Amino acid sequence: MQGDFAAHLAMLDSLGAETSEVRLPADLREIDGLVIPGGESTTISKGMERDGLDGAVREVFSQGLPVFGTCAGMIVADRAHLGLGSYLCQRNAFGRQLDSFEQDVLVDGLGSEPIRAVFIRAPWVAEVGDLTEVLATVDGHPVALREDNLLAAAFHAELTDDSRLHAKFMAMATRSRESSKAG
C-alpha cells in the first residue's frame, strides 16, 4: 500500500525468498508469509480498507498465515486496527524520544549478538495481551513481539544488513507452509 516495502523485498530476496508485492486480496493467494512495512499507518490502513485487504488479511491470518509488521506495520496489526495481535500501540510515542534513534537490542532466539535497531517515529507498545510474547525490550519496554503467527517490531529490521529477524520470519513461513501441506 505504502511505505518501505522495497527494503523488505531486498532483504528477503537476499535470504533466498521468492517475493511479490501484495496490493489486492488476490495477491494473498500464493504467499507463505506477509510483511506489513513501516511507513504511515493511517495511509496503510486506509488503503487496505479501500481495497478490501483488511478483511482478506484477517482471514488468511486466522488460517495461520505468518505476518511480520514493522513500525507502522506493527501499528496496523494491533488490536485497534487489523486486530491480528492483542497488543495496543500509541503512534509516534516512543518514550520521550521525539524522533528517531538507533539502539543495540537483544532479541530472544537470535543469539547473544544484539540487533542494531533503527527507530523512526516508532510506536510505543502501550499494552500487551496475555498471549503476547515479548522478544525484545528497550529500557524495559517491549519493542519486538510475537503472538501466534504474528511477529511485530517497533523498529525497522529491514534497514540494516542484519537479516536475522527476517530469517526468523522466513522460518515461521516455512513451518506454516509445511504444516498446511501436512494437514
Contact residues toward ligand GLN (CB under 6 A) are: 38-41, 71-72, 75, 91-92, 120-121
Active site residue 71: yes
CA 112, 154, 128, 2 dihedral sign is negative
Q: Cβ closer to ligand GLN: 75 or 150?
A: 75
Closest approach of ligand GLN to the CB of residue 169, in Å: 17
* Catalytic annotation present for 89: no
Give the type of residue at 15. L
Q: Give whichever of 43 and 174 is closer to ligand GLN, judged by the CB atom.
A: 43
* Residue from 8, 81, 147, 158 carrying the catalytic annotation: 158
Q: Nearest approach, Cβ of 34 to ligand GLN (angstroms)?
A: 16
Options 8, 81, 89, 156, the catalytic residue: 156
* Of residues 71 and 77, the one with the C-beta less far from ligand GLN: 71
How far apart are CB 139 and ligand GLN at their closest, in Å?
19
Name the minimum Å distance from CB 77 to ligand GLN.
12
125: β partners: 89
Residues whose CB is less than 8 angstroms from the CB of residue 107 and which lie 6 or more positions away in sequence, other chains included: 114, 115, 135, 136, 144, 164, 165
Verify whether residue 156 is a known catalytic residue.
yes
Helix (H) or strand (E) holding 149: none
Catalytic entry in 71, 81, 147, 166:
71
In our burial notation (b when 16+ CB lie closer than 10 A, e otherwise), range 119-148 reads: bbbbbbbeebeeebeebbebeeebbbbbbb
**Cell 524520544, residue located:** 97
- Residues with catalytic roles: 71, 156, 158
